[in-house]
Amino acid sequence: MTAHYSVHEDVAVITLDNPPVNGLGHATRLAIVEAMEAATDDVRVRAIVITGAGSGFSAGADVREFGTPSAMQQPSIHTVIAALESSAKPVIAAIHSLAMGGGLELAMGCHYRLVTRGAQIALPEVKLGVLPGAGGTQRLPRAIGLEAALNMIVSGRVVSSDELSDSGLFDLVVEGDLLPGAMKFARQAAERGELPKLRDRRIDHVNPDAFLQFAQNTVAAASRNFPAPLKCVEAVRACVQRSFDEGIGVERKLFMELMNTSESRALRHAFFGKRAAAKIPDLPRDTPVRTVTQVAVVGAGTMGTGIAMNFLSAGLQVTILETRQDALERGVAAIRKNYDDNARKGKLTQEQVEQRMSLLTPTLSYDDLRHADLIIEAVFEEMGVKESVFRALDAVAKHGAILASNTSTLDVDKIAAFTKRPHDVVGMHFFSPANVMELLEVVRGEKTAHDVLATVMSLARKIGKTAVVSGVCDGFIGNRMINQYLRQAGYLLDEGAPPEQIDRAIEKFGFAMGPFRMLDLSGNDIVWAIHKRHAVERPDLVYSKTTNLLCEMGRFGQKSGAGWYDYKAGDRKAYPSPAVNDMIVQQSRDIGLERRVISDDEIVERLVYALVNEGARILEEGIASKASDIDVVYLTGYGFPMFRGGPMFYADTVGLYNVAHATRRYGKGYRGEAWKSASLLERLAEVGKSFND
C-alpha cells in the first residue's frame, strides 16, 4: 500500500507512504480516497489527520507517471482534494520536512494545516514549464496574500515554513512530536465543529490590478523564451478577478496549454534526464561505495581551489597541495575570499565561513596525502605533468584511495597506467568555476572499478553536482562535441561571417554566450594548445588558421585585454575589433576563398548540427550511454538553451530526417569532410525514429 489507514481512538490517521518523497501517483490517490471513505463511515472517527511517512509530507506528482495515462486516471488529484475539502469531519494536514507541488496543494485542500519548523514549502511547477494545476494558483494567494503567493508561484522558490509561520497558511507550528500534536489539535477541531476552507477566504490587497500589471511587465521582461511564468500571472489574476470555481477553470485550461508547449517538454526532458544520468546500465544499484571523509586536491590554482570548496562546503576535510609556498598561500587566500564574499552577500554566516576554513589543510608535501580517501589532481593539462603527479600519488596514497584526474581532454586510461592501481583511477572533470558550475563529467576508464564509479556518483550528489558518466575519448562528451562546434565557427569566419555575427546569431537562438565571446572568456591560448596537439595526434582534424593567427598576435582573450574582441580597462563588454576582422579577411584571401554573405539561420544550423552529429557518434561508440546524458552535459555545462532541451532533444524536435538532410548538404560545401554523417543519425532518420525513443 502507498498510504496506510489507522484509527487512534476517535482520530483517523492517513499516512502517505510512497518512497522516496510520497509522490501522489494513482495508487496513492486511490488509497487516500478509500481511507477518507473509511473515516467518513466510521462513527468512532471525529477528525482525520493526513501525514507523510519517511522523508516528508509529499513532493507532489509521482514523476514516474509523467506523460502516462496514470497521471490523469481517476481519482485525479482534483478528486482527492475535493474529498478532503468536502469532508463533514475536520481534515488536518500534518506537514514535516517538505510539502511541494501537488503535496502542498493537497495540504491546502485540508481544513487545517500544521507544520514542523524548517519544512520546505514550494510550488515548483514553473521549473517544468507548467503551473500548479490542482488549485495552487487559487488557494495560495488566499492563504498568504497576493504578492507573496505570486512570487512563490512565478519563481518556484523553496521557502522555509519558518518564513511562512505567520502568513495564514499554517494553523499551528508544532514544536514537539508532530503526530501526537496533530491528533490533539484534531480533537480540538472536532470539538469546535468548524470546517474552514481556503477557497472561502478573501484576498485583501490595496490595489490588486495595479500590482498584477506591474508583475506582468516584470515577469515578461525576465522570462523571455519561457511562457509558464506569464501564465502563472494570468492564473493568479483569475484568482483575484473571478470566483473560485471560475479561477480553477482558468488554471486547468492554462495548465493543459503549457503541458503541450515545446518549452515544457524540453524542461521535463531535462528534469528526467538529470535523474536518468545517475542510472548506469551495467552498474548494479546495490554496488557498495567506499567511505570518503578526507579529500585531497593536488593544485591550488583556479580549478583546484574551486574543487576544494565543493568538499569543504559539504563538511569534508580537505588537504590542498602545491609545489611552492607562494602558490599555496594564493590558493588558500582565494578560498577564503570566495567564502568571505558569500558571507557579505548574506549567503553564509561568518561562523560557517570559519567552520569551512577549519576543514582545510594546506601542504607542500605529498606525504600529507597518505590518509586521503579521494585525491583529485587539478594540475596543468599536459600528459607529462599528469604522469609525474600520478606516479607520486601511487607511491603515497593508501590502499583503497580513489585517484581522480580533473583532465578535460586527456586519456584517462593512459593516466591510470602511470599507477599500479588502474582500477582505483577515474576522471572527475569539473567545470570552471568548479565551486559554482553544476556539471561533473565522470570519466570511466577501461579498468575503473564498479565501487569507484558508484562512490564518485554518490559523492557528486553530496556536493550538489549533476554527474554524467563518459567513456574515454579525446574530450569526453562535452569537449569532444564543442570541438566540432568551434571548428564550424572557424570555417564560418573563413567563409564570410565576422565573429560578432556568429555570436549574435547563436545567442539569439538562446545560447548564454556565442563561441567567440566564450573563447575570449576561457582563453584562446587553451584552444591554440589543443590545435597544436591535434596537429600531431589528430591530423584528420583540420581547423581554420584564424585561431593560431589570433594568438600569434598576442590576443588570448579577456586576460590579455584583447582576443576576438577588443576590451577596455575595467569593462568586460566585447567590442568588435577592426584588426581581427582585417586578419580574418586576409586569411580568406590567403587560402583563396571568396567571402560570401552567410545567413543567421545557416550559422545556427551549422553550429548546432555539428554538436548533434558528433553526439550521435558518441552514442554509436558507447562513450555516452543515452542521448539524455549528452543533453544534460550541454544544459548544465555549456550554456545550451534550457528551453530547447539540449542538442539531441532539439534535433528530435526538428526531426532527424531534416538534420541528416542538412548535414549531407553542408558536406558538399567548404570543409565538407567535417560533415560526414554519423551512421546512427542516418539510420534513425531513415526509420523515422528519434535519439530519445
In SS3 terms, 176-214 reads as: CCHHHHHHHHHHHHHHHCCCCCHHHCCCCCCCHHHHHHH
E strand or H helix at 135, and its extent?
A: none
The one catalytic residue in 125, 263, 500, 614 is 125
Q: Which amino acid is at 180?
A: P
d(CA 500, CA 503): 5
Instruction: Indicate if the alpha-carbon torsion angle 571, 575, 578, 583 is positive or negative.
Output: positive
The answer to whether 87 and 190 have CB atoms below 8 angstroms apart is: no
Whether 125 is a known active-site residue: answer yes
Among candidate residues 237, 247, 51, the one with its CA nearest the CA of residue 135: 247
The pairing of beta strand 374-377 with beta strand 294-298: parallel
Helix (H, G, I), strand (E, B) or coil at 404: strand
Residue written as grid cell 550528489: 461
d(CA 360, CA 302): 16
Rounded to 5 degrees, φ, ψ at 428 are -130, 90
The one catalytic residue in 37, 85, 105, 382 is 105
Q: How many helices (H) and strands (E) does the chain have?
A: 27, 19
Residue written as grid cell 606525504: 367
Among candidate residues 586, 575, 588, 519, the one with its CA nearest the CA of residue 551: 519
| Rounded to 5°, angle at Cα 14 from 11 and 20 | 150
What's 124's DSSP letter?
G
Q: Count Cβ neighbours within 10 Å for each residue of 250-278 and write b for 16 or more, e otherwise.
A: bbeebbeebbebebbbbbbbbebbbeebb
Whether 234 is a known active-site residue: answer no
DSSP 451-479: HHHHHHHHHHHHTT-EEEEE-SSTTTTHH
Residue written as grid cell 566585447: 574
The pairing of beta strand 3-8 with beta strand 11-16: antiparallel
Q: Which amino acid is at 108?
A: M
d(CA 459, CA 462): 5
d(CA 274, CA 438): 11
Rounded to 5 degrees, φ, ψ at 36 are -65, -40
The answer to whether 353 and 339 have CB atoms below 8 angstroms apart is: yes
Q: Which residues are catalytic?
A: 105, 125
